[in-house]
Amino acid sequence: MYGGRATDWKKHSALIIECIVLGLVFLVLPFSGSAYILTLMIISLHYVYLSQSWNLIFGYCGQLALGNGLFYGITGYFSTRLFLDAGVSPYFGALLGGLLSALVALLLGAFLFRGKLKGLYLGLVTLAAMGITEAIFNNWAYVGSSAGIYLPLKNLPRQFMFTNRLPYYFIALFMVLVMIAATWKIEKSKLGHRAIAVRENEEAAEASGIDCFRTKLVMFVLSAFFMGLAGTFYAQFMLYISPEIMFGFSNTVLLPMLGVIVGGRGTVFGPILGSLAFSLLGEFLRRVTFLHGPQISAATMMIYGIVLTIASIRYHGGLMALMSARGPLGRNK
């Protein structure tokens, strides 16, 4: 609206160049022939996607809902059982499972947000919901109890199963791109603006005609839907799911949390940066030669904890805010 196309191009040119470079990296590197690099990239993209999903409810709407695994697990299990029992393609199963997760989020969210639960208490109750579900799945024979469910290793592209990893990579990349587009769209929409207002100050938001309850609920449901799709992806990629993994804290909650808070909450690019940084950091720590076995995960957790603490206390805007003075990626605030 303000200024012509030329100035728009100038304003965004650096951003576009960065995107092209990033795009090339993500299009060329998978073909390096290294299974290690490919797997690392798939897992990284998976966390980018998860972070983006959590970003919707925490980053934009400011609600510390921590039961991510609830939706990840429900959708993952649902599509897997549906495939094994009825031969329903997991692509379709993911959508159905995502809708089931959305429904669960709707009911849970209605209960929690109606009760005006927020902050720490919201976090605790959502974690408890996830824990209870994990306990149920651990003792439910139909879903394989604590031993989990194995999927057969076959090359059935229409059933979301590949013996080659490259298709998984492109599906993960596609999911991230869809998520970026969705986040972008939401950020620019009335819903996105309302969510930000709720995050900043609920009283002022209400006084501005914003239905805080409804806004939180919609963002929670969207977040749960997207989070769920990742559960199916994981199931198809690993061909094995168990309650410990699908409802696990560190996979589904801690890593997205690091990505969003360290990267920059409530931004489109922050969680991408944060998750990629942590995926690389985690991988680097695994390669440090003087650490062995359990020491690795202990050291990783310690470092994650320290970084998260520093980011939470000192750098609220995360990497995005740090970069905003320097790089164009940070300029979209």
Partner 1 sequence: MLLQVNTVSKWFGGLQALRDVDLSVEEGKITGLIGPNGAGKTTLFGVITGFCIPDRGSVVFQGEEITKWKPHRICEKGISRTFQVAKPFDDLTVFKTVTIGALVHSENVEEAEIKAERLLRDLKIADKRDKLGRHLTVVERKRLELARALASSPKLLLLDEVIAGLNPAEVDEMSQILRDLAKSGLAILMVEHIMRAILSLAHRAVVLDAGMKIAEGDPRDLLRDPVVIEAYIGKEDAYA
Binding site for partner 1 (CB under 8 A): 1, 188-190, 193-194, 196-197, 200-201, 203-212, 316
- The residues pairing with 215 across neighbouring beta strands, listed in sequence order, are none
State in angstroms the smallest separation of the CB of 172 from partner 1.
31
The sign one gets for the Cα dihedral 81, 85, 88, 90 is: positive
DSSP labels, 205-255: HHHTT--HHHHHHHHHHHHHHHHHHHHHHHHHHHSEE-HHHHT-HIIIIIH
Q: Least distance to partner 1 from the beta carbon of 202, Å?
A: 10
Q: 189 vs 78, 102, 182, 192, 249, CA distance in Å?
A: 31, 20, 10, 5, 31
CB of 187 vs partner 1, minimal distance in Å: 10
d(CA 312, CA 333): 19
Nearer to partner 1, 38 or 205 (CB): 205
Alpha helices in 55-189 (DSSP H): 68-86, 90-114, 119-138, 166-188
Please, what is the minimum distance in Å from the beta carbon of residue 310 to partner 1?
Answer: 19
Nearer to partner 1, 3 or 33 (CB): 3
Min CB(176)–partner 1 separation in Å: 25
Decide: 277 and 263 in contact? Cβ < 8 Å. Answer: yes
Contact 272, 175 (CB under 8 A): no
Q: Which residues contact 3 (CB under 8 A, 6 or more apart)?
A: none
Using an 8 Å Cβ cutoff, are 307 and 258 in contact?
A: yes
> Which is closer to partner 1, CB of 164 or CB of 201?
201
Cβ contact 93:82 at 8 Å: yes
Write out the two tokens for 123.
């976090």
* Residue among 96 and 110 whose Cβ is closer to partner 1: 110
Let me know: does 232 contact 248? Beta carbons within 8 Å.
no
Q: Shortest approach of partner 1 to residue 206 CB, angstroms?
A: 4
In angstroms, the CA 204 to CA 198 distance is 8
**Cβ atoms of residues 222 and 56 within 8 Å:** yes
Minimum Å distance from CB 197 to partner 1? 5
* Least distance to partner 1, CB of residue 205, Å: 8
